[in-house]
């Protein structure tokens, strides 16, 4: 488990670090204003499908079927079933994209601003002007340059909503390539390949970074500086499309070497396709409650105030680094492993593997959780505070992160427990639990967002993820009669005490650093993060080893054995 998930964690770390570089570039380029709000929410919709499919429902439903075909019917039938799934998925994805583009185009047609001859009419029209920079077609640009001012009447879209819809229309076809990537990643995971699929996100991030550094400067040439951003933001949307193509293409060589050849197989009335669809629909809600929550809550935040979407999104990206490295990596490894054990009806080994996975996750994520909370401000300052990202932005994103990060352990636990249900062929139970949690989360986030702004969604997500994990534990114990988690509960109090000590050490050393040295230079900013984190991490590991925490001991032995092999 450590070898497979460790290789994937290394690949995930690479892609997540590049993803963090991408966010740094984005934040420096856009700041946390209304343009960033519009782009982030427009990207949230197609990106939701990537998270649902690439890290969620499609792979959760597909991998157990793929493994079953491989074991019971041979490789020929396995590849034929895969081709049927790909054929059906392309048809469905193209249909969804076509409908979405039609709806968005109609909305834009009825909500586009119109020129008003007399600018003084804004007193009675009760609307706000749009600059030349937001006019994205030649006719609008000509009118604006001629002196016409654009207004929104009460029945039309706001400036931010109009830009969001224009970007969404451009980026939505990204979903097609995401679907293909998700299936290919699932096939590779089921065949024992974890590193290459995880590295696919690296190509995605490289292309998206290039869209800011190379493509964006080519947009809005000749416009004043303050008018360039709403035009240049479309370069980032084109970058999203190119990134989707690159990520899908990255998976193909490894699949080809494994023996896969695409052939059209009609998905209509295909039993395998029907079975996966039946499992995938409830699984979409069951695996991805957190991502659905983010999309729904950000939709409300878009209209409540400027900056909430981009500030909360920055916190989510920071939390996703340890969640992706540890939670997603372990969950991705555990799904095909648990599915194989369930197919063999080896339930004692199923329970043991699940317990080991949760113990490893708990050990790694507890220290990550406390460091994100305690060092939120210096982390955000180091990564984001440059360009259009101001000190005020740092304070807002830090607050959002401190509200969101306490739920890190439970976010990742939900991923693992939901996959345990899917390995057992049960997609309904996680769905039912997630529906309850989704309703509670949405209500709490909307209520808390008004007084706490970007902190409200974080507190709501933390609470409902704890509830979700608790309900999944209860339901899984009923399903398996027993979970045999007593060794895990036994070490939990010790781990919590060790984590608290490490957190206190991190906070004390950070405050000492700030008082004595400050953070005026980049070297001091780096030290303000890594010195306290290093001290806390060292205390956490050494104390865990001294207390004989099994996960710490196993990981240390694994690392030493690997180092010994390299030396020899």
Q: How far is CA 151 from the centre of its chain?
A: 36
Confidence at 363, pLDDT banded by 50, 70, 90: very high
Contact 449, 296 (CB under 8 A): no
Please state, for a pLDDT cut of 90, what percent of the chain lies above it: 32
pLDDT of residue 44: 85
Output phi, psi for 3, to 5 deg. Answer: -70, -50
Question: pLDDT higher for 99 or 181?
Answer: 99
Please state, for a pLDDT cut of 70, what percent of the chain lies above it: 84
pLDDT of residue 290: 59
Tens digit of pLDDT for each residue in 209-226? 999 999 998 887 777 766
How much is the average pLDDT of 163-191? 86
Contact 58, 183 (CB under 8 A): yes
Q: Is pLDDT at 195 greater than 50 in this prediction?
A: yes
Residue 441 tokens read as 């989360």
pLDDT of residue 83: 85
How much is the average pLDDT of 332-346? 80
Number of other CB atoms surrounding residue 457 within 10 Å: 32
Classify residue 119 by its DSSP letter: G
pLDDT of residue 562: 79
pLDDT of residue 374: 96
Contact 318, 372 (CB under 8 A): yes
Write out 191-259 in H/E/C secondary structure. CCCCHHHHHHHHHHHHHHHHHHHHHHHHCCCCCCHHHHHHHHHHHHHHHHHHHHHHHHHHHHHHHHHHC
Confidence at 156, pLDDT banded by 50, 70, 90: low
How much is the average pLDDT of 42-60? 70
303-312, 329-338, 360-369, 531-540: the lowest-pLDDT one:
329-338
How much is the average pLDDT of 418-432? 84
Q: Is pLDDT at 129 greater than 50 in this prediction?
A: no
Question: pLDDT higher for 514 or 54?
Answer: 514
Q: Is pLDDT at 115 greater than 50 in this prediction?
A: no
Confidence at 288, pLDDT banded by 50, 70, 90: low
Confidence at 317, pLDDT banded by 50, 70, 90: confident
pLDDT of residue 171: 93
pLDDT of residue 186: 78
For the sheet containing 114-116, what is the strand order? 114-116, 149-151, 129-130
Q: Is pLDDT at 236 greater than 90 in this prediction?
A: yes
Burial class for 193, CB neighbours closer than 10 Å (0-12, 13-18, 19+): buried
Cβ neighbors of 448 (< 8 A, separation 6 or more) are 455, 456, 457, 459, 460
Confidence at 48, pLDDT banded by 50, 70, 90: confident
Check the CA dihedral 188-190-194-200 and report its sign: positive
Contact 531, 509 (CB under 8 A): yes
Confidence at 14, pLDDT banded by 50, 70, 90: confident
pLDDT of residue 152: 41
Question: What is the C-alpha separation between 538 and 532, in angstroms, rounded?
Answer: 10
Output phi, psi for 118, to 5 deg. Answer: -105, 105
Residue 206 tokens read as 């490289």
How much is the average pLDDT of 61-89? 79
Number of other CB atoms surrounding residue 301 within 10 Å: 27
How much is the average pLDDT of 125-142? 34
The H or E element containing residue 116 is strand 114-116
Q: Which of 249-263, 345-359, 369-383, 475-489 has the highest mean pLDDT?
A: 369-383
Q: Is pLDDT at 147 greater than 60 in this prediction?
A: no
158-162, 502-506, 541-545: the lowest-pLDDT one:
158-162
4-13, 246-255, 355-364: the lowest-pLDDT one:
4-13
Q: Is pLDDT at 341 greater than 80 in this prediction?
A: yes
Confidence at 500, pLDDT banded by 50, 70, 90: very high
30-44, 205-219, 283-297: the lowest-pLDDT one:
283-297
Question: What is the C-alpha separation between 306 and 506, in angstroms, rounded?
Answer: 33
Q: Is pLDDT at 130 greater than 60 in this prediction?
A: no
Question: What is the C-alpha separation between 50 and 47, in angstroms, rounded?
Answer: 5
pLDDT of residue 449: 92
Look at residues 325, 171, 165 and name the one whose alpha carbon lies nearest to residue 244.
171
Confidence at 357, pLDDT banded by 50, 70, 90: confident
pLDDT of residue 3: 63
pLDDT of residue 170: 93
Question: What is the C-alpha separation between 431 and 279, in angstroms, rounded?
Answer: 10
pLDDT of residue 401: 95
pTM of the model: 0.75
Question: pLDDT higher for 239 or 298?
Answer: 239
Q: How far is CA 478 from the centre of its chain?
A: 31
Question: What is the C-alpha separation between 481 and 345, in angstroms, rounded?
Answer: 14
Confidence at 149, pLDDT banded by 50, 70, 90: very low
Q: Is pLDDT at 66 greater than 80 in this prediction?
A: no
Look at residues 450, 100, 473, 440 and name the one whose alpha carbon lies nearest to residue 293.
440
pLDDT of residue 50: 63
110-114, 124-128, 370-374: the lowest-pLDDT one:
124-128
How much is the average pLDDT of 179-201? 78
pLDDT of residue 370: 96
Q: Is pLDDT at 498 greater than 90 in this prediction?
A: yes
pLDDT of residue 7: 60
Number of other CB atoms surrounding residue 295 within 10 Å: 16
Q: Is pLDDT at 132 greater than 50 in this prediction?
A: no
Cβ neighbors of 496 (< 8 A, separation 6 or more) are 366
What number of H helices and E strands is found in the chain? Answer: 23, 3
Bridge partners, residue 151, by sequence: 114, 129
Torsion from C-alpha of 228, 134, 25, 392, nearest 10 degrees? 90
Question: pLDDT higher for 177 or 58?
Answer: 177
Mean residue pLDDT of the chain comes to: 81
Output phi, psi for 191, to 5 deg. Answer: -90, 5
Q: At what angle do helices 225-258 and 174-190 cross, to 10 degrees?
A: 30
Question: What is the C-alpha separation between 247 and 18, in angstroms, rounded?
Answer: 14
């Amino acid at each position: 488990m450590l070898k497979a998930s460790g290789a994937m964690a290394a690949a995930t770390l690479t892609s997540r670090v590049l993803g963090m570089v991408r966010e740094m570039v984005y934040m420096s380029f856009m700041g946390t204003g209304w343009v960033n709000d519009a782009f982030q929410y427009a990207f949230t919709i197609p990106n939701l499908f990537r998270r649902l499919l690439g890290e969620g429902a499609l792979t959760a439903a597909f991998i157990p079927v793929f493994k079953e075909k491989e074991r019971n019917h041979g490789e020929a039938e396995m590849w034929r079933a895969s081709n049927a799934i790909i054929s059906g998925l392309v048809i469905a994805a193209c249909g969804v994209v076509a409908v979405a583009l039609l709806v968005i185009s109609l909305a834009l047609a009825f909500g586009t601003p119109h020129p008003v001859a007399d600018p003084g009419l804004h007193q009675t029209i009760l609307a706000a002007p749009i600059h030349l920079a937001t006019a994205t077609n030649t006719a609008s640009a000509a009118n604006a340059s001629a002196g016409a001012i654009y207004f929104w009447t009460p029945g039309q879209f706001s400036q931010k909503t109009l830009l969001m819809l224009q970007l969404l229309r451009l980026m939505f076809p990204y979903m097609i390539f995401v679907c293909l990537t998700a299936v290919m990643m699932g096939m590779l995971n089921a065949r024992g390949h974890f590193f290459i699929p995880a590295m696919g996100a690296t190509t995605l991030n490289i292309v998206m970074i290039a869209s800011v550094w190379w493509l964006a400067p080519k947009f809005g040439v000749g416009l004043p500086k303050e008018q360039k951003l709403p035009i240049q933001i479309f370069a980032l949307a084109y970058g999203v499309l190119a990134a989707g193509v690159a990520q899908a293409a990255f998976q193909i060589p490894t699949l080809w070497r494994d023996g896969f050849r695409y052939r059209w197989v009609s998905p209509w009335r295909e039993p395998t396709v029907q079975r996966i669809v039946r499992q995938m629909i409830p699984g979409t809600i069951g695996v991805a409650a957190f991502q659905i929550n983010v999309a729904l809550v950000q939709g409300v935040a878009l209209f409540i105030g400027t900056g909430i979407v981009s500030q909360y999104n920055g916190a989510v990206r920071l939390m996703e680094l340890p969640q992706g490295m540890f939670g997603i990596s372990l969950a991705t490894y555990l799904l095909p492993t648990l599915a194989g054990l369930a197919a063999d009806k080896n339930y004692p080994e199923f329970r043991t593997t699940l317990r080991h996975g949760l113990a490893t996750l708990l050990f790694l994520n507890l220290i990550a959780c406390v460091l994100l909370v305690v060092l939120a401000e210096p982390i955000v300052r180091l990564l984001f505070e440059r360009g259009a990202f101001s000190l005020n932005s740092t304070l807002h994103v830090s607050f959002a992160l401190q509200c969101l990060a306490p739920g890190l352990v439970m976010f990742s636990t939900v991923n693992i427990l939901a996959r345990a249900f899917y390995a057992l062929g049960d997609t309904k139970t996680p769905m039912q639990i997630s529906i309850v949690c989704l309703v509670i989360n949405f209500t709490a986030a909307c209520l808390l967002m008004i007084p706490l702004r970007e902190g409200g969604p974080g507190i709501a997500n933390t609470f409902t993820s704890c509830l979700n994990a608790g309900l999944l534990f209860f339901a899984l114990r009923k399903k398996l009669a027993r979970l045999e988690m007593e060794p895990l509960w036994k070490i939990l109090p010790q781990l919590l005490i060790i984590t608290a000590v490490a957190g206190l050490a991190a906070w004390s050393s950070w405050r000492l650093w700030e008082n004595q040295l400050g953070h005026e230079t980049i070297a001091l900013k780096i030290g303000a993060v890594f010195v306290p984190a290093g001290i806390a991490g060292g205390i956490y590991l050494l104390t865990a080893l001294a207390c004989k925490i099994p996960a710490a001991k196993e990981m240390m032995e694994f690392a030493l054995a690997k180092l010994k092999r390299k030396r020899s």
